[in-house]
Amino acid sequence: MNILITGATGYIGRRLKHRLLSEDVNIRLFMKRDKPSIEKQNIQVSIGTTFDPISLEKALVGIDVAYYLIHSMDSKNYQELDRKSAENFREACIKQGVKRIIYLGGLGDKETASEHLLSRIETGEILSKQPDKIQTLWFRAGVIIGSGSASFEIIRHLVEKLPFMITPKWVNTLCQPSAQKDVIEYLAQAAFIDTPHSTIIDIGSKTMSYKDLLLGYALACGLKRTLIPVPFFSPKLSSYWLTLMTPVPYSVASALIEGLKSEVLLKNNNATKLFPNIHPMDYEDAVKETIEEIKHKQIISRWSDASGEAWEIDHSALSNAVFIDRQALPMGNHSAHKVYTTFCAVGGKNGWFGYDLLWRTRGAIDKLFGGYGLSRGRRDSRELRIGDSVDFWKVVDLQENKRLLLFAQMKLPGIAWLEFLIKDGTFYQTAYFYPHGLAGRIYWYLLIPLHFFVFNGMAHNLMKSIKDED
Ligand SMILES: NC(=O)c1ccc[n+]([C@@H]2O[C@H](COP(=O)([O-])OP(=O)(O)OC[C@H]3O[C@@H](n4cnc5c(N)ncnc54)[C@H](OP(=O)(O)O)[C@@H]3O)[C@@H](O)[C@H]2O)c1
């Protein structure tokens, strides 16, 4: 069987790819750009986007089953883009004789759906519009409980940080969460099941309120937590609160909060009929399993993996930057490997080699402006791969024992990078900045005194930390 996975750099797609590697199938990934971070052993890669029908048709040649695991939520006009993307995908699949499209959307009703959910519903409707020409299995899932899932990260951060929680009334809304493992299992098995019709398959475990999710997490971790419901928490205030207390930025928090106002319950039992061997995991077990995964650093993907705007920018012409701060230090006896592994550990809980209070302040300012701040942290405290987020940076280049290039995803009046480079026995640390207009220039000049301490300190402390270890 030949399978195409779209969204292979995203949260769901990356995990599905991992799961399908254990099956006797040929996998082809459809990606916007080739990414060295994606493990590609025995896997073909086809480059393109769903907005380019030619690349899409090429990718679908000889494919039996095509997974549609993408969305355009990062864009302002995402509804329009998602409609176009789904139409192009369905038409290209029909043209290339694909037998089955498998799509994962969200649970919920059209009448009460948030704008984001509505777009996901529309995508499902467009993909399944020609059942006589192509079959579509449309899965619908609610909150996904698993390491790296945005909803789970919100629950985790709220419960772990706050012994008392003032909660809005949406905490009483009902939902049916799904363990991430179950979602991936349904999607993987969907390629092989024998069913002739296009079907909507709702997935989830037992019905709970969001309050139960918070208290259930506390119980699984042996924490005692008290929720105090108040009537005055507006969706806007709730979104700001989540942005402040959890790793998600305002855009993600507000989309999630909008979705929490209405119930998301299963409307059919097609999952039990078509997949009798899958028994949805209880919420408590899913939480325990996820905590184990985090403890053992087995996080395959995170909500922040998809690259968004980071790849819309040319990262190859850094030397044209208007402002540059470069630190160059001789490496002495230290091997390139030692220096490389040291700078690859930057960020997250490891900190920024000094002046962490300033970094935290910058993170807090970023959060205030709706950015990521420092709270995304790192997927793994040592290992990095291209596409990983490191606090408010994104890894856009990684060359073993040579280079780490971070692209700034913080709110800035310009575009910035931070590069760590090893060349001819010297360690270079360079900050690059392209200002946007006058505001960008004023920003850079105002920060010169702080940059002097922070960048200087970082390079020297980084090298010193190796000496201390030696
Ligand atoms: N995550 C959840 O908790 C959850 C819950 C319920 C349902 N779902 C559904 O599951 C699906 C996948 O979600 P996700 O969370 O895995 O998304 P995600 O992490 O944001 O990943 C999106 C993926 O789509 C790719 N992509 C976006 N536009 C594209 C285009 N035009 N052409 C080709 N590739 C494109 C991105 O590539 P780049 O990395 O190159 O940008 C990325 O790989 C969505 O339909 C979502 O509604 C997710």
Q: What is the CATH number of the domain that holds 325?
A: 3.30.530
Asked whether residue 302 is assigned to any structural domain, the reply reads no
311 pocket-lining for ligand 1 (C-beta < 6 Å): yes
Please state whether beta strands 414-423 and 426-435 pair in parallel, antiparallel, or not at all (unpaired): antiparallel
Residue 376 DSSP symbol: T
Distance 250 CA to ligand 1 centre (A): 18
* Co-location of 205 and 70 in the same domain: yes
247 shares a domain with 347: no
Q: What is the pLDDT of residue 282?
A: 94
Residue 311 lies in a domain: no
Most distant CA atoms of the chain, gap in Å? 69
**Does 259 sit in the ligand 1 pocket, CB within 6 Å?**
no
Residue with tokens 């097609």: 270
CA 73 to ligand 1: nearest atom:
20
* 178 occurs within a structural domain: yes
C-alpha–C-alpha distance, residues 401 and 336, integer Å: 5
**pLDDT at site 36:** 64
Q: Is residue 309 in some structural domain?
A: no
pLDDT at res. 257: 82
Tokens representing 436 are 């946007």
* Residue 367 and residue 288 share a domain: no
What averages of pLDDT result for each successive group of 10 residues across the chain (470 residues)? 94 94 94 71 88 96 97 86 97 98 94 90 97 97 90 88 84 93 98 95 96 92 88 79 82 81 91 97 93 76 70 75 93 94 93 91 88 85 88 92 94 94 95 93 93 93 80
The pLDDT of residue 40 is 64
- The answer to whether position 235 is within a domain reads yes
Containing structural domain, residue 421: 319-469
50 and 158 fall within a common domain: yes
- 221 with 279, same domain: the answer is yes
Instruction: Assess if residue 401 is contained within a domain.
Output: yes
Backbone angles phi, psi at 114, to 5 degrees: -70, 170
In testing the pocket of ligand 1, which one of 4, 5, 9, 12 has its CB within 8 Å of the most ligand atoms?
12
What is the identity of the amino acid at 180? Q
Residue 12: φ, ψ to 5°: -80, -45
Residues 92 and 211 in one domain: yes
In a domain, 47, yes or no: yes
- Confidence (pLDDT) at 235: 77
Task: Return the sign of the alpha-carbon dihedral for residues 32, 413, 420, 360.
Answer: negative
Distance between Cα 11 and ligand 1 center (Å): 7
Element (H, E) at 254: helix 250-260
Q: Looking at the structure, do residues 146 and 215 belong to the same domain, yes or no?
A: yes
435 and 326 Cβ atoms separated by less than 8 Å: no
Residues 6+ positions from 435 with CB-CB distance below 8 Å: 322, 323, 413, 414, 441, 443, 444
Place of tokens 């910058």: 362
Please tell me the residue having the least CA distance from ligand 1 atom 23. 7
Best of 11, 122, 304 for a ligand 1 pocket test (most atoms within 8 Å of beta carbon): 11
Q: What span, in angstroms and rounded, lies between the C-alpha atoms of 107 and 201? A: 10
Q: Are residues 167 and 273 in the same domain?
A: yes
Residue 74 CA, closest ligand 1 atom number: 20
Alpha carbon of 304 to ligand 1 centroid (Å): 10
Q: Which of residues 295, 311, 342 is at a domain's end?
A: 295
Neighbours of 364 (CB within 10 A): 13
Q: How many angstroms separate the alpha carbon of residue 69 from the centre of ligand 1? A: 5
Q: Which atom, in ligand 1's list, is nearest to the CA of 123?
A: 45
End-to-end Cα spacing for the chain: 53
In the three-class reduction of DSSP (H, G, I as helix; E, B as strand; rest coil), residue 1 is classed as coil
CA distance 413 to 444: 9
Res 39: pLDDT: 64
In ligand 1, which atom is closest to the CA atom of 301?
19
What is the C-alpha to C-alpha distance for residues 311 and 381, in angstroms, rounded to an integer? 24
Q: Which two tokens stand for residue 66?
A: 């095509």
Report whether 285 contacts 179 (CB < 8 A).
yes
Q: How far is the CA of 70 from the centre of ligand 1 (A)?
A: 4
**What is the CA(308)–ligand 1 centre distance, in A?**
10
Q: What is the CATH number of the domain that holds 276?
A: 3.40.50.720
CB of 404 closer than 8 Å to CB of 384: yes
User: What letter does residue 262 receive in the DSSP assignment?
Assistant: S
For 431, the enclosing helix (H) or strand (E) is: strand 426-435
Tell how far the Cα of 48 is from the centroid of ligand 1, in angstroms: 15
- How many other CB atoms are there within 10 angstroms of residue 270's CB atom? 19
> Residue 468 has what pLDDT?
62
Task: Tell me, yes or no, whether 219 and 268 share the same domain.
Answer: yes
Residue 78 C-alpha to ligand 1 middle, in angstroms?
Answer: 12
Task: Examine residue 135 and state whether it is found in any structural domain, yes or no.
Answer: yes
Burial of 213 from C-beta contacts in 10 A (0-12 / 13-18 / 19+):
buried
Confidence (pLDDT) at 286: 94
429 φ/ψ angles, rounded to the nearest 5 degrees: -125, 120
143 shares its domain with 188:
yes
Q: For 172-209, where are the alpha helices, taking DSSP H only?
A: 180-189
Cα of 322 vs its chain's centroid, Å: 31
Q: Are residues 348 and 226 in the same domain?
A: no
Residue type, 243: T
Q: Which residues contact 312 (CB under 8 A, 6 or more apart)?
A: none
pTM over 0.85: no
CA distance 207 to 213: 10
If one counts the domains in the chain, the total is 2
User: What pLDDT is attached to residue 38?
Assistant: 63
Cβ 168 vs Cβ 238: under 8 Å: yes
**Neighbour-count burial of 178, counting CB atoms closer than 10 A to its CB (0-12 exposed, 13-18 middle, 19+ buried):** buried
Same domain, 260 and 367: no
